[in-house]
Amino acid sequence: MRFLSCAAVVLISACSAFSSEGALQRYLPPPDSSRGWRFDIEPTSYSTDNLFEYINGEAELYHDYGFVDMVTAAYIRGEDFSFTYTIDLYDMGTPLNSFGIYSSYRNPGANLVEIGAEASVSELNIRFYQGRFFVQMNAGSLTPELHQIMVEQAQWMAAHLPSSPPPLEIGYMPIEEQIKGSLKYITKGFLGQSAFPGGLQALYAVDGDTLQAFLVLTQTAAEAEKSFHLYCNHLQTRGKVLTMTSSEVEAEMPYQGRIAALRHLHWITGCMGYKERKTADRLLQHLLTTLGE
């Protein structure tokens, strides 16, 4: 009985791994053979162990965002290499990680459309996230017809991937006066602090000034207090501290300009790069209102 039990565990584990891989591949759209489309490269899966074989040094970025696994495939219409594109589908583990890797590619001014939770679309690329999944599509040529086909395939994937609301955390950053496409989630070395957990940052246009707001996603008041103390030490060492208390600090920093930061509940929040403190205070008030009391 013990032998059979162990064998069953091995069998179940193997089936679970196979099912997980198959579940990911089924979200790739099938080639439309009636219109001459086929796989140029059959669906191929990569895991945490070998992702670097597919995207080389960029794999480290994905690992920082909690990469689980991915599947990729290339499509071609007949033998026409002007009608080729690839789809990379990544399972990033959580919606926040998925948004994070998506936001690392998106820039202010990008063409944002409603595919999945959000999509960034250019002539050659479509990137979108939905739930814990991140999708990247790359065209083989600048062909309007091919671009439209890719848009349709992205919409097909969004309709078939599990639906999920955007991550709760991005709602902590106020929408009012936020510059579209500037919100990012960063996991490693946020604000240049290796001791910080991940955080959110976004650009804001306030009273004719452009400044950056940030939120360190500490989980407890004790963690926030410790991290804030370390951050104050960093500001003292690298820049000029203007004012500092146990819960608030303002400093001048090389490259970043003026920084105002404070502890609030179990977070650290603030803004940087402002010209006048009243502008920073106005944005800080928006942040505190969004975070709640």
Q: Long-range pairs for 57-61 at CB < 8 Å and ≥24 separation? A: 61/101, 61/104
For the cut 90, the answer to whether the pLDDT of residue 41 exceeds it is yes
Domains 22-160 and 168-291 share a fold: yes
CATH superfamily of this structure's domain 168-291: TM1622-like (3.40.1000.20)
Number of residues that make up the chain: 293
Q: How far apart are CA 8 and CA 14, in angstroms?
A: 10
Question: Could you tell me the two tokens for 134?
Answer: 């991140």
pLDDT confidence of residue 22 = 62
pTM here? 0.90
DSSP tag of 178? B
For residue range 102-152, what is the model confidence (pLDDT) as tens digits?
Answer: 999 999 989 999 999 999 999 999 999 999 999 999 999 999 999 999 999
Cα distance between residue 141 and residue 106, in whole Å: 21
93 three-class SS: coil
Residues 6+ apart with CB under 8 A from 34: none
CA dihedral 157, 162, 166, 168 (to 10 degrees): -160
| Paired tokens of 23 | 């579940």
Mean pLDDT, rounded, for 246-261: 96
> Residue 10 pLDDT > 70, yes or no?
no
Other Cβ atoms less than 10 A from the Cβ of 237: the count is 8
For domain 22-160, give the CATH number: 3.40.1000.70
Domain boundaries, the chain: 22-160, 168-291
Residue with tokens 């010209």: 275
Above 80 in pLDDT, residue 5?
no
Residue 9 pLDDT > 80, yes or no? no
Alpha-carbon distance of 267 to 217, in angstroms, equals 6
What six digits make up the tokens of 280?
Answer: 């920073």
Residue 267 near residue 224, CB atoms below 8 Å? yes
pLDDT at 4: 39
Is residue 51's pLDDT more than 80? Answer: yes
**What is the rounded distance in angstroms from the CA atom of residue 190 to the CA atom of residue 42?**
38
> CA angle 260-263-267, nearest 5°?
115
Assess whether pLDDT exceeds 80 at residue 249. yes
From residue 225, give the alpha-carbon distance in Å to each of 9, 159, 216, 283: 45, 43, 12, 22
> Where do the DSSP E strands lie in 51-193?
69-77, 80-91, 112-113, 118-121, 125-130, 133-139, 184-186
- Residues 145-200: tens digit of each pLDDT: 999 999 999 999 999 999 888 999 999 999 999 999 999 999 988 998 888 899 99
